[in-house]
Amino acid sequence: MPAQILDGAAYAAEIRAAVTRQVAWYTAHHGPIKLSAVLVGSDAGGRLYAESQRKLSIKVGVQYELVELPESATQAELLAEIDRLNADPEVTGIILQLPLPGHIEDAVTQYRIDPYKDVEGVNPANIGLLFYGEPLIAPCTALAVTELIRRSGVPQRGAEAVVVGQSRIVGRPVTMFLLTHLATVTGCHVATRDLAAHTRAADILVVAVGKPRLIGPEYVKPGAVVIDVGINRITEETPAGKVVRRTVGDVDFGSVSKIAGYLSPVPGGVGPLTVAMLLRNTVEAAHKQLHRRM
């Protein structure tokens, strides 16, 4: 039987509808929710991403401001801007657009964002809280992966789970979430010997590597839940000889969909759900700022 498709785009629409109601309630009782996104330099991709964030934010009733700094901005100038946004009571959420120019350190800057305004969940303090099983604001992509697994209905407790890719923002937080839900988790990475031997044992397989179609059917246990986080832009020739650009995941969708039980597509899986989680984090962050503990 072909895999059931985990339709991230449809789930994202449901979440956005709920967030819209929550934002309206919050705004009526406590005033506007405002997201400030910081973009350093003139990266066209960053500006495009910011524009789509603006549209989606406004759609759910969240105010959005893009704060632009020149490419030449120093680390100190960027930190001063973050301090200003941290101190501004009207700003309830801060996004730092990546990539930053080479002379600026991502982690130092992310560390400076007030953990209560860190709607992307990238501050090391927020990532650390996942280890305590008490997240304040968790990374959006890891939340999206968790939501897709939950929607499959397959129990995580006691399941064999394998997470391929162990980055700080995606793979490791996903690993922590699965552990919190009492799955037995194996973390695979670039130095893993015989990747297929691990992945074939997985009831739940999450792939976050950034290598087009790395995972074929020989890596997948029949009936498994397979969540594809990868986003890869490739150029390839169609059978008719036409050269096309397309976005593919780390999983070979066509062949794996014949063997997996549940599969998230790319595009239309983790991606749209990640943006919905950003909006959900934004309204939750505003609420949590009303009852600060740190």
- 265 scored as a contact of ligand NAD (CB under 6 A): no
Instruction: Report yes or no: 94 and 38 within 8 Å, Cβ to Cβ.
Output: yes
* φ, ψ for residue 38, nearest 5 deg: -105, 125
CA-wise closest residue to 164 among 199, 117, 127, 123: 199
Choose, by CB under 6 A, the member of 20, 75, 86, 166 that binds ligand NAD.
166
- 139 scored as a contact of ligand NAD (CB under 6 A): no
C-alpha atoms less than 13 angstroms from C-alpha of 107 in its C-beta half-sphere = 5
Return d(Cα 146, Cα 181) in angstroms, integer.
10
Instruction: Report yes or no: 12 and 268 within 8 Å, Cβ to Cβ.
Output: no
- 195 scored as a contact of ligand NAD (CB under 6 A): yes
Peptide bond into 267 cis (omega under 30): yes
Please identify, using beta-carbon distances, which residue of 107 and 182 lies nearer to ligand NAD: 107
Choose, by CB under 6 A, the member of 136, 138, 229, 260 that binds ligand NAD.
229
Query: Which range, of 92-100, 205-213, 219-227, 234-242, touches ligand NAD by CB under 6 A?
Result: 205-213
Helices 270-290 and 140-152 cross at an angle (nearest 10°) of 110
- 165 scored as a contact of ligand NAD (CB under 6 A): yes
- 288 scored as a contact of ligand NAD (CB under 6 A): no
Count CB atoms within 10 A of the CB of residue 43: 17
- 255 scored as a contact of ligand NAD (CB under 6 A): no
Return d(Cα 169, Cα 120) in angstroms, integer.
10
Peptide bond into 99 cis (omega under 30): yes
- 192 scored as a contact of ligand NAD (CB under 6 A): yes
Please identify, using beta-carbon distances, which residue of 35 and 188 lies nearer to ligand NAD: 188
Query: Which range, of 27-35, 129-137, 204-212, 216-224, touches ligand NAD by CB under 6 A?
Result: 204-212
Please identify, using beta-carbon distances, which residue of 108 and 190 lies nearer to ligand NAD: 190
Both structure tokens of 14: 């449901």
The least CB distance from residue 214 to ligand NAD, in Å, is 6
- 216 scored as a contact of ligand NAD (CB under 6 A): no
- 141 scored as a contact of ligand NAD (CB under 6 A): yes
Return d(Cα 14, Cα 6) in angstroms, integer.
14
Choose, by CB under 6 A, the member of 209, 248, 263, 276 that binds ligand NAD.
209
Choose, by CB under 6 A, the member of 188, 220, 278, 286 that binds ligand NAD.
188
Return d(Cα 81, Cα 230) in angstroms, integer.
32
Contact footprint for ligand NAD (CB under 6 A): 141, 164-167, 169-171, 188-190, 192, 195, 208-211, 229-232, 270-271, 274
